[in-house]
Amino acid sequence: MVRAVDGVDITANRAETVCVVGESGCGKTVTAKTVLKLIDMPPGRIVAGEIRFEGRDLVPLPPAEMRKIRAKQIGFVFQEPMTSLNPVYTVGQQIAETVRQHEGLSRRAALDRAAEMLRLVNIPNPQRRVQDYPHQFSGGMRQRVMIAMALSCNPKLLIADEPTTALDVTIQAQILDLLDEMKQRLGMAVLLITHAMGVVAEVAQRVVVMYAGKVVEEATVEALFATPRHPYTQGLIRSIPRIDRAASVHARLEAIPGTVPSLLNPPVGCRFAARCRHAMPDCVAAEPPLREVAPGHKVACILYPEHRP
Ligand code: SF4
């Protein structure tokens, strides 16, 4: 059995953006899909734990009940909008259908809501564009449509999985600004999954760093960038391009050597040990737990006194 995500504990509060960051294969997307109960079951399954939403555990809920919560209370946006939009229906029909299903509006009222949502995400001529098909929008505009659809029922939580990865840099910035604006306006919590530390720095209030299916560090965005504690987080931050360093001819971006271990047979002890420049024999003796090393700042690494007996 592969434990793709193990012991992950994430809280997102109202009007807060929590970023989950890490390399490909670290369990970020599985975490997002688990919250939505969208992991492929079988073979995927939630073995243990709770998904608490507004005080209610979602794990035991039957699929029909869960469908009502998705979209109506938890919106989601994935990386590639073309895989989520149906090419044979207009975007207006698709947004209207979501609204009709969850709010019981008439067809006319639902189409009006669809146009209102397109206007909210800054798509010009919304009354006309509701009649367009997904292929008639650019990549950035399609992602706006997805955000409009995700927000159409006023969710309390928005989960966005790499929403800007497929877009070019200027459009990325617009989409991130839009998400931030929507969060402030609607007061929802945002769980943003990303591999890009630049995105984290721009939008997060709190950051959860994942490595090989585990949380290795959690902190406010200020604390994480000012004093990253886990060697993996330190490596991620060193790998961000910086304008001041680019001025030097010797400037090289640092990479973290090695690759994420296979979760089919995860290593004993700290999962980062094979790539860690500070590794010592005790690191592979037992897995370091996530412990608070400063108020609100948790880390799973034995370099810190809180981890010593
Ligand atoms: Fe490195 Fe050891 Fe800390 Fe793991 S526990 S990150 S191997 S120092």
Distance 234 CA to ligand 1 centre (A): 12
Indicate if ligand 1 lies below 6 Å from the C-beta of 279. yes
The mean pLDDT value of the chain amounts to 87
Work out the end-to-end distance of the chain between its first and last CA atoms, rounded to an integer number of angstroms: 32
pLDDT score at 251: 62
Element (H, E) at 297: strand 297-299
Provide the ipTM.
Answer: 0.99
Separation CA 293–CA 171 (nearest Å) = 38
CB of 301 within 6 A of ligand 1: the answer is yes
Least reliable range by pLDDT among 42-51, 59-68, 275-284: 42-51
Work out which ligand 1 atom sits closest to the CA atom of 232: 6
Tell me the per-residue pLDDT of 69-117, one tens digit each, with 9 for 90 and over.
Answer: 886 889 888 877 677 789 999 999 999 998 888 778 899 999 999 999 9
Predicted confidence at residue 275, as pLDDT, reads 94
pLDDT in tens, 108-164: 999 999 999 999 898 999 999 999 999 999 988 998 999 998 888 889 999 999 888
Whether the per-residue pLDDT at 59 is higher than 70: the answer is yes
CB distance 258 to ligand 1 below 6 Å:
no
* Confidence category of residue 247, pLDDT binned at 50, 70, 90: low
* Confidence at residue 173, expressed as pLDDT on a 0 to 100 scale: 87
121 lines ligand 1 (CB under 6 A): no
Q: CA-based angle 151:198:283, to the nearest 5?
A: 110
The secondary element (H helix, E strand) that includes residue 148 is: helix 139-151
Task: Please name the residue whose Cα sits nearest to atom 3 of ligand 1.
Answer: 301
Residue 216 alpha carbon, nearest atom of ligand 1: 6
pLDDT at position 248 is 56
Question: Given this model, what pLDDT does residue 244 score?
Answer: 64
pLDDT (0 to 100) of residue 250: 59
- Judge whether residue 264 has pLDDT over 90: no
Burial class (CB in 10 A: 0-12, 13-18, 19+), 19: buried
The verdict on the CB of residue 300 being under 6 Å from ligand 1 is: no
Distance CA 192, CA 208 (A): 10
